[in-house]
A and B are shown apart, each in its own frame.
Chain A
């Protein structure tokens, strides 16, 4: 038996499978969406979230009882869960939606996460949710804040530093804000969303990838969670952005200055 004075933390990390960040996407000619037959990987901000959870355990040792990753997505999202397990998470939950289903909205995802957290209640609950600040496909950046709102929990968005004080049941979080940094003290349970600066995610080693194959993944459906993931905002069309007519090269600095002058740009008088 562990001494009961020590609080044990359960961390939940929601992750998303997205088109790989390096892929140059193509808009489908029917203007219904983009070509998804391309390389996918874990949303980069979510990798940072998984890494942070694993680092918290490395720092706090036994105070972190579990790291659970959850994804809500098509069948192939289970690969993304395996990646997170290989990075050091203990177990996964896959809320599976059919490939043909429209992409859920952040509010739907937040409600599904709320339902997952409620299911976890009997297994010790969730004290800390760490997730990416935005997914690089829809670029919405809403899910964490929505989840915190639904749960009535504290939230720390765009985190670049997280210091947990398990005894005091709180966390000091440094956030990246417009023009600088801000520090907050948040009571647990807490939702943290990660900024790029939080950490440098590790690569999963081969032995860990092998081990991850044996880690449990629980499969659920939106129905199991009694959530409706149908989008409420209609996507009318997806188009290519207007093309820039750039690509003009100049031979030297003088020509460059001539170009600037042509555009009405000259030095300012100081």
Chain B
């Protein structure tokens, strides 16, 4: 009895809210070493397509947040910026960060969507948050459209390693729609001096006894552009024989083109290149202006990660290699002769 009495007035209070809230996206802004991740900038662009307000959220340690907030508040497209600082947040362990999202997104939340890049940290965090809120999540979307009248959002996303595209609809019954964005499918939101958004600090949710502790992070150091955002990529496969030849063959070409270096799974498994360089279904998905595949046969798992590149160049000895079916310029040749020649001739231009 008592319960029934409490619930009814509560509902009446909420009604004006629930009828026409308009989409309001919360974008998880990731950062590393004081810089915003470019994937998050693409997530803002995706969030803006919903047609409503876009609030960004920055989470991190005390030495990280101030710098990042300074940069984030210049981002074009944000209507508001939230930030939360705690020493415990500096390594973004999902078990520790998730309670903050749960609090922000629980009953009565203004947010209708949660958006982030399809990055390793968001992939770990957001499904956990979704389960806590009892809502499904949508991974790696490549387009979206929100219908305000039915409060439903339609997404497309690749399935089966990109060999099929699913169009899915999250109906209004899913109160908070949580999704990650394929960064290569959306342009990055630009920064703008002078566009100042409203900034608001959020109290962190301190966890007394976290079950998981961060020990350390080892990042692969490189002077080259980051693979995920590089405009040009030179990628090598199993045909490169060993780590030394991989380096000796790919680096001069990457240098002359100002390109990032990528690798097929075969090359990574054989130890020619670092794991973080893998392009494909299980590695990074890239869509640069130029993708040069050297000694890569073109298995479907690899194609899943690069077939949206603008110009694909393949050099391979085997004329029947599947990579030639997607290449805009395929050269059947021994890459140990062709690549040095290519480097020389490019230099002469």
Interface residues of A (CB under 8 A from B): 19, 21, 24-25, 27, 34, 105-107, 110, 134, 136-150, 153-158, 160, 172, 175-187, 190, 195-197, 231-241, 244, 246-257, 259-261, 263, 265-268, 270
Q: Do B131 and A149 have beta carbons less than 8 Å apart?
A: yes
Name which of B66-74, B198-206, B306-314 contacts chain A.
Answer: B306-314
Query: How many Å lie between the Cα of A247 and that of B313 in the bound state?
Result: 10
Given A146-B131, A179-B220, A181-B217; A267-B212 close (CB under 8 Å): no
Known A34-B160, A155-B124, A259-B329; 14 more pairs at CB < 8 Å: A24-B300, A25-B160, A25-B163, A106-B137, A107-B135, A157-B123, A179-B220, A183-B218, A232-B171, A236-B167, A238-B165, A241-B307, A260-B346, A267-B349
Residues of chain B with a CB closer than 8 A to A19's CB: 160
The stretch of B1-9, B43-51, B319-327 that contacts the partner chain = B319-327
Q: Is the CB of B330 within 8 A of A259?
A: no
How many chain B residues have a CB neighbour from A under 8 Å?
A: 94
**B119 sits at the interface (CB 8 A):** yes
Q: Which residues of B contact A197 (CB under 8 A)?
A: 275
Within 8 A of A (CB), among B112-152: 119-121, 123-132, 134-140
The answer on a CB contact under 8 Å between A241 and B162 is yes
Residues of A within 8 A of B216 (CB): 182-183
Q: What are 26 A-B interface contacts by the 8 Å CB criterion?
A: A106-B127, A139-B159, A145-B126, A146-B128, A147-B131, A149-B128, A181-B217, A183-B217, A184-B213, A184-B214, A185-B212, A186-B213, A231-B136, A233-B171, A233-B174, A236-B169, A240-B165, A246-B327, A247-B326, A249-B329, A249-B332, A253-B345, A256-B331, A259-B311, A260-B311, A260-B346
Name the distance in Å between A110's Cβ and chain B's nearest Cβ: 6
Residues on B with C-beta less than 8 A from A254 are 345
Task: Kindly state whether residue B63 has any CB partner on chain A within 8 Å.
Answer: no
Asked if B131 and A153 make an inter-chain contact with CB atoms under 8 angstroms apart, the answer reads no
> Which B residues fall within an 8 A CB radius of A?
32, 91, 93-95, 98, 119-121, 123-132, 134-140, 154, 157-171, 173-174, 211-220, 226, 228, 232, 255-258, 265, 269, 275-276, 281-282, 284, 289-290, 300-301, 307, 310-313, 324-333, 338, 341-342, 345-347, 349
- Interface SS majority for chain B: mixed
Q: Within the assembled complex, what's the spacing in Å between the Cα atoms of A1 and B147?
A: 64
Report chain B residues within 8 Å CB of A233: 136, 138, 168-171, 174
Measured CB to CB, the closest approach of chain A to B25, in angstroms, equals: 18
Given the contacts A136-B281, A235-B168, A260-B313, A247 and B327 also touching, CB distance less than 8 Å: yes
- Whether A142 touches B139, Cβ cut-off 8 Å, given contacts A21-B301, A233-B169, A256-B313, is yes
How distant is the Cα of A148 from the Cα of B95 in the complex, in angstroms? Answer: 9
Known: A25-B164, A247-B327. A142 touches B290 (CB 8 A): no
Q: Which residues of the partner chain A approach B211 to less than 8 Å between Cβ atoms?
A: 153-154, 186-187, 190
Q: A248 to B220, Cβ gap below 8 A?
A: no
Contact in complex: B124, A232 (CB < 8 Å) = no
State in angstroms the CA–CA spacing of A176 and B347 once bound together: 37
Bound Cα distance A146, B312 (Å): 37
The answer to whether A184 touches B93 (Cβ under 8 A) is yes
State the Cβ distance, B17 to closest chain A Cβ, in Å: 22
A167 and B142 alpha carbons, distance in the complex (Å) = 46
Q: Is the CB of B349 within 8 A of A266?
A: yes
* Given A178-B276, A179-B276, A253-B331, residue A155 in contact with residue B128 (CB < 8 A): yes
Which of chain A's residues have a CB closer than 8 A to the CB of B346? 257, 260, 266-267
Which of B127, B130, B214, B256 is the one whose CB lies under 8 Å from A267? B256
B154 with A176: CB separation less than 8 A: no
The CA of A267 and the CA of B138, in the complex, are separated in Å by 40
Tell me the bound Cα distance from A233 to B325 in angstroms. Answer: 35
The reply to whether B325 and A154 form a contact with Cβ atoms under 8 Å apart is no
Structural contact, A247 and B330, CB atoms closer than 8 A: yes
* Residue from B120, B160, B307 within 8 A of A244 (CB atoms): B307
